[in-house]
Structure 1
Amino acid sequence: MILIGQFDFNLHRDFRQASQELLDNPEVKLIEIDFDQVPFIDSSALGMLLLLKERAALQKKSLELHNCNDAVRQVFESAQFNKMFTIR
């Protein structure tokens, strides 16, 4: 999944729909979220990622966060996501 632009509450519906398609696909074992084009994330985005991680775990799917810029990585580290997620 490639995110583009600010990752905040405004993307909630689109993010949920796209992630549900990946969760529903039995061939998908690993969900990779690409943050290369994301300049900013807010707390609602953190919540969306946590929910997706929980839902993926229930279906025995892995979740990885990729290509985080320094600002996004700093938010993840502040929220201790680096301990809960694989961040590449």
Structure 2
Amino acid sequence: MQAILELAQPVAHIRLAGHFTWEGQRSFRQVTQDMLGHADIEAIHFDLARVESMDSTALGMLLLLHERAPGRAIVLHGLRADIREMVDIANTGGIFELR
């Protein structure tokens, strides 16, 4: 998985591409740790338009980020229909803003 971080304070934009699975956790952790080092970030926007697949481990990584970034909005956009369905089934729609 490829993960690219762009900062446009107060928003962090993280673009993911490929298969968002356990194997991508190192890339995910690296960009989110870099982003969390910026205290002025108020919202985290994930562009998932180029994510081909996502598993429950990836959903867990997003939930963990939610806990590690209290008070920061997490927005998921560009979700494929099957990925959006997984997020909806896991009932995380209230935690993440879906666009």
Question: Does TM, scored on the shorter chain, surpass 0.5?
Answer: yes
Q: Which amino acid aligns with 2:92?
A: F
Q: Which residue of 1 aligns with 2:46?
A: 33
Which ranges of structure 2 fall in alignment gaps of 5 or more residues? Answer: 1-13
Q: Which residue of 2 aligns with 1:15?
A: 28
8 Å contact from structure 1 (residues 63, 86) kept in 2: yes
The normalised TM-score by structure 2 is 0.82
The normalised TM-score by structure 1 is 0.91
Q: Which amino acid aligns with 1:21?
A: D
Which ranges of structure 1 fall in alignment gaps of 5 or more residues? Answer: none
Q: Which residue of 2 aligns with 1:53?
A: 66
**In the aligned structure 2, how far is the partner of 1:66 from the partner of 1:25?**
22
8 Å contact from structure 2 (residues 73, 96) kept in 1: no
User: Of the two structures, which has the highest relative contact order with CA contacts closer than 8 Å and spacing of 6 or more?
Assistant: 1
More helix by share: 1
Q: Which residue of 1 aligns with 2:57?
A: 44
CA deviation after TM superposition for structure 1 residue 10, in Å: 0.6
Q: Which residue of 2 aligns with 1:64?
A: 75
Q: What is the total number of aligned residue pairs between the two structures?
A: 86
Q: Which amino acid aligns with 2:91?
A: Q
CA deviation after TM superposition for structure 1 residue 81, in Å: 1.6
SS at match of 2:75: strand
SS at match of 1:84: coil
Q: List per-residue Cα deviations over 1:28-57 (Å, max 9, x = no partner).
A: 111111110012110100110000011111
8 Å contact from structure 1 (residues 39, 71) kept in 2: no
Q: CA RMSD in A?
A: 1.0
More strand by share: 2
Q: Which amino acid aligns with 1:40?
A: S
Percent identical among aligned pairs is 36
